[in-house]
Amino acid sequence: MDAALAELLAGDAVTAAPRLLGSLLSVDSPEGRVSIRITELEAYHGAADPGSHAFRGQTRRNAVMFGPPGHLYTYFTYGMHTCCNIVCSPEGVASGCLIRAGEVVEGLNLARARRHTSRSDADLARGPGRVCVALGVTLDDGGADLATSRIRLTLGEQVPDVATGPRTGVSGPGGTEEFPWRFWVPGDPTVSPYKRHVPKTRSTVAGRATNVPRNTSDG
C-alpha cells in the first residue's frame, strides 16, 4: 500500500470515502482476478454514528473495525448477502467505508459468470451484495490486509465531481439528511438507486401491525 493511501485510511471514513471513489479493488482467486473501479461508498463513523455497527462499542462481530486501518470488514445481511467495508481511522477507533457499487474493469467474463442473472455489465457490481459476488469476496475475507492479501486496494485519480446524500436503507437517526455520508460518481450507470429506509411490518396475534426497523446497508 502506497504512502498516500495509507495516510488517507488512517483518517476518518467520512474524509476518506469521497477520495476513494475511482480507486481499484482487486480480488485474486484460482479462477482469475476481478477488479472494480469504485463508484459508490457510504461512510460509517463508529461511536459518533447511530447507523454504524460500532455505535455501541466493540463486539466479536465488529472487532475488525477497531483494528488497524487498511483491512476489510465483512458482514452478512438478510441471511444471504455479504457486504464489505474498508476500515479507516487509527487502531482502536472504529470507522469504515461500505463499498456500495463499482464498474468491473478487469475479469469481466468471470464477474459475468458469478453474476449470471445481471441484465447488463453495469449491473454486475451495482449494490453492496453484488459487489462481493462479482469480486468473489466472502465472510472469510474479513480482516484481510488490503496491502498484502488476495484483496488489494489501489488509490485512483481523484474524481472531480462527487455527489453526496443520505445513506441507503439506514433506519433511525443515522438514515437522515443529518448524515449525508453516501458518496457517488454522478451519472455513472453502475451507481445503485437510492432507497429510503421503510420499516418492515409483521402481523401480531391480535392482527395489529408492528414496526420492525432494520438496517439494510450498515457498515
CATH topology of domain 3-212: 3-methyladenine DNA Glycosylase; Chain A (3.10.300)
Q: Which residues does residue 110 pair with via DSSP β-bridges, in sequence order?
A: none
**Three cell numbers, residue 50:** 447511530
pTM: 0.84
Domain coordinates in residue numbering, the chain: 3-212
Q: What is the pLDDT of residues 86-111, one digit of tens each?
A: 999 888 888 899 999 999 999 999 99
**Looking at the chain, how many residues does it have?**
219
> Long-range contacts made by residues 199-202, C-beta under 8 angstroms, separation at least 24?
199/171
pLDDT value of position 169: 67
Task: List average pLDDT for each run of 10 residues in the chain, which is 219 residues long.
Answer: 93 94 98 98 79 64 86 83 92 89 98 94 95 96 96 95 86 64 95 67 37 36
What confidence score (pLDDT) does residue 93 get? 80
Q: What is the pLDDT of residue 214?
A: 35
